Amino acid sequence: MLKNVTEYYYPGSLAEASELHDRESRSFFISGGTALALSDSTRPVELIDISRLGLNKLKLDRASGNLKIGATTKIQRIVESEAARSVLGGFLSESLEEIGSYPVRNAGTLGGSLVRPFPWSDVIPILSVLETEVTYFHEGDKKTREFSKLYESDFRSTLNRSIITELSISLPEKGNAAAKFIKFSRSEFDVAALNLACRLTVEDGNISEARLSIGARPMTGERIEKVENDLVGEKLTGNLAKEAAIFAADVTDLGGNDKLSKEYREQLVKKMTEEAIVDIKREVANES
């Protein structure tokens, strides 16, 4: 818990929130407060509460084929929403339900999990395999950025000074697409010791698009593009799943920590990649 909060603001607008943040003091935006509560810093801080700015809309825009999620939307609300269930046969809601416990999901927001993500974050691999765009407020303007470019080093300082306002997830337009999220943890409520998300689109019998993202490596989640590139153009078979799994274990940058050794993670990457692809194959076959 932050031990020295000197001021707590409720700004009335994004512009006001941003101005408060720009001042010399050490200040943080606060939404659900679940991640900030983990800090035990004694340094003085000011908190700028953005939870009353109306950034909690959750809407499926069928015309544009996008699911729009306001940044301060509670994770549990997304899990329970009909609109979210329409993303890839329930992939989004089912995978977000793997996050922490009900109280954490009921207080924590989607936007709050993005700016300073934990390396074991489940949200990063989940959103990485979807077509996700992030809208943020910076220096008086709203701008958008692809989720896959959110953590590029030259964007870091902009991200740290921005208010994330909305996420937009495009629903797949063509082909048969399916996705799978797998989390390995030591107990039901523990954070991931390794997590993996995969999405494949099959058109005319071959994979036309592939996304694979692995987190808690123990480093923050990232896409494994070498595997993605290898999958595109191939027929979705059990044998391909096996080959991709071996390749993923070989090319993914993994390490060891107090939860798991590097060697254990390699075995898990192999097993989880194969399982994800085989499950997707089954789902795609049922759709066609």
Ligand X SMILES: Cc1cc2nc3c(=O)[nH]c(=O)nc-3n(C[C@H](O)[C@H](O)[C@H](O)COP(=O)(O)OP(=O)(O)OC[C@H]3O[C@@H](n4cnc5c(N)ncnc54)[C@H](O)[C@@H]3O)c2cc1C
- Considering only residues 24 through 83, tell me which ones interact with ligand X, judged by CB under 6 A: 28-36, 38, 50, 71, 75
Identify the residue whose tokens are 């990457």. 269
Using the contact rule CB under 6 A, the part of the chain among 12-20, 110-118, 172-180, 253-261 near ligand X is: 110-118
221 counts as binding ligand X under rule CB under 6 A: no
155: tokens are 């964007």
Helix (H, G, I), strand (E, B) or coil at 248: helix
125 binds ligand X (CB under 6 A): no
| Distance (Å, whole) CA 228 – CA 223 | 8
Amino acid of residue 172: P
Region binding ligand X by CB under 6 A among candidate stretches 4-12, 105-113, 174-182, 266-274: 105-113
Told to check if 132 binds ligand X by CB under 6 A, we report no
Q: Are strands 66-70 and 163-170 parallel, antiparallel or unpaired?
A: antiparallel
269 binds ligand X (CB under 6 A): no
How far apart are the C-alpha atoms of 227 and 277, rounded to whole Å?
12
Task: Report how many residues bind ligand X under the rule CB under 6 A.
Answer: 30
**112 binding ligand X? (CB under 6 A):** yes
Residue in the structure block whose two tokens are 């929403």? 81
Q: Among candidates 201, 198, 194, 206, which has minimal Cα distance to 179?
A: 198
Q: How far apart are CA 169 and CA 132, in angstroms?
A: 5
Label the pairing between strands 27-30 and 45-49: parallel
Stretch that binds ligand X, among 23-31, 216-224, 258-266, 273-281 (CB under 6 A): 23-31
164 contributes a contact to ligand X by CB under 6 A: yes
Which of 17, 150, 163, 272 is the binder for ligand X (CB under 6 A)? 163
When binding is defined by CB under 6 A, the residue of 108, 125, 218, 221 that contacts ligand X is 108
- In the bound state with ligand X, the residue whose beta carbon lies nearer, of 127 and 277, is 127
**Residue 169 lies near ligand X (rule: CB under 6 A):** no
Nearest residue relative to ligand X (C-beta): 112
> Who contacts 138 (Cβ-Cβ below 8 Å, separation ≥6)?
18, 158, 161, 162, 163
Please choose, from the candidates 213, 203, 283, 279, the residue with its C-alpha nearest in 3D space to the C-alpha of residue 241: 279
Of residues 103 and 238, the one with the C-beta less far from ligand X: 103
CB of 100 to ligand X, least distance (A): 3
Token pair in block for residue 277: 């692809």
Task: Point out which residues bind ligand X (CB under 6 A).
Answer: 28-36, 38, 50, 71, 75, 99-100, 104, 107-109, 111-113, 115-116, 121-123, 163-164, 191
